[in-house]
Structure 1
Amino acid sequence: MLKVGLTGGIGCGKSTAVTLFRGLGVPIVDADQIAREVVQPGEPALLQVAKVFGAAVLTAEGELNRGWLREFIFKEPKARTQLEAILHPIIHKRIGQAMQVAFESGAAYVLVDVPLLVEQGYQTLFDRIVVVDCLPHQQLERVRARDQTADSQTQQIMQIQASRDLRLQAASDLLDNTSTQAVLEFQVNQLHKKFLGLSSS
């Protein structure tokens, strides 16, 4: 049962790598999707969030008021810590459950797509950590081409994310995405073979 976490900074090509692994038949657990699910109406986590932050954190329909919460966290930095203390244990548990389901279906290994793996201390969940890496100027160029986003916005996101050095230190396996998609695809295929070997040994 090999558990693989995959991460990368904005614009590094994480989504492309995930798509390539999925194409090889690897089951993918999407941590962002789980994070959205745990704050759906009726979920215990949403009730806890409302208890801590008050009624303003909910819309009239009883859904999470993301805009309000984003602004509040921006103004009150300790609120982020409070929010993470509520959500992360639940997200951790759900990721574990989703990996278990993948193994029960006979998968050799499972890949978990975690954008903020290093920032949120998720390293202990995994046997291997894959980091998709490229150069900082490439991050800016790729996000600009993809989203038509101003560089200043992208740089703000890059500052919130773990530094490139921190991500690289956490990596047990690296996907170097400084070249072409064909080169990335070759590396994904090599890693896939490696993980199949590790899971069977």
Structure 2
Amino acid sequence: MIVIGLTGGIASGKSTVSAELRRLGLPIFDADQEARDAVAKGSKGLALVAEAFGQEYLTAEGEMDRAKVSQLVFNDKDALKKLEGILHKIVWEQAENFLERCHGVGHPVVVLDVPLLIETGWYHEVDKVWLVAVSREQQIKRAMIRSGMSAEEVEARIEAQMSLAEKKKYADVVLDNSGNLEDTLAAVHAELKKLLGEDCGC
């Protein structure tokens, strides 16, 4: 079983590539969704967040106040490390379960869709690192449209992440998403054919 680690910065188009791989029948582990589930209302992860930061980081309904927590960790590196320590442990346990299930049913290729694949060191656990990349200008423009953030807010988030140049050092495949959608999907199909041959259904 070949494990692809799919990663990319904010508004790079990683979700588009992930959706196409899912459409082609590959099992996808969505680390972002798992991280949200890890701190769902009533979860062990949410209890650990409340213990680490205080009850004031929960809403009146008993859910995590995502805006408040995001603001905290964006401005406090120690708080970010605490949150990541809680989330990464839970999410990686789920990733291991996913890989075990996929191996058990004989999937030839599976995907771990992980924004922080390199930063967490999880790239060591995959066979191929696929990096989705766009120019900084496009990244800012797309993030502004998608999130409603200002250019300055987007740039601050990009600066807080590992640079694209650094990420490229870890990548086996760089999928350039600067062009049109058809070009990106064609590149995805071509790379998948290298792994599966004509059986990929591309």
TM-score range (shorter-chain normalised) is 0.7 to 0.9
Post-superposition CA distance 1:106-140 (Å, at most 9, x none): 32111111122223332122111100112212212
1:4–1:127 CA contact under 8 A, matched in 2: yes
Residue 148 of structure 1: how far off its partner (Å): 4.9
Residue 171 of structure 1: how far off its partner (Å): 0.4
Q: 1:149 to 1:93 in 2, by over 3 A?
A: same
Query: Which residue of 2 is the match for residue 37 of structure 1?
Result: 37
Alignment of 1:99-114 (within 5 A): 99-114=99-114
User: What is the TM-score when the length of structure 2 is the normalising length?
Assistant: 0.87
Query: Which residue of 1 is the match for residue 17 of structure 2?
Result: 17
Post-superposition CA distance 1:26-65 (Å, at most 9, x none): 1111100000111113322222222222222222332212
SS at match of 2:175: strand
Query: Which residue of 1 is the match for residue 174 of structure 2?
Result: 174
SS at match of 1:165: helix
Q: 1:12 to 1:75 in 2, by over 3 A?
A: closer
User: What is the TM-score when the length of structure 1 is the normalising length?
Assistant: 0.88
SS at match of 2:116: coil
Query: Which residue of 2 is the match for residue 27 of structure 1?
Result: 27
Q: How many Å separate the matches in 1 of 2:32 and 2:132? A: 17
Q: Comparing 170-179 with 117-126, which one deviates more in the overlay?
A: 117-126
Q: How many Å separate the matches in 2 of 1:150 and 1:75? A: 17
Q: 1:43 to 1:183 in 2, by over 3 A?
A: same
Q: How many Å separate the matches in 2 of 1:44 and 1:120? A: 21
Residue 195 of structure 1: how far off its partner (Å): 2.4
Q: CA RMSD in A?
A: 1.9
Counterpart of 1:68, as a letter, is: K
Question: 5+ unaligned residues in a row in structure 2: which ranges?
Answer: 198-202
Residue 181 of structure 1: how far off its partner (Å): 1.6
Query: Which residue of 1 is the match for residue 151 of structure 2?
Result: 151
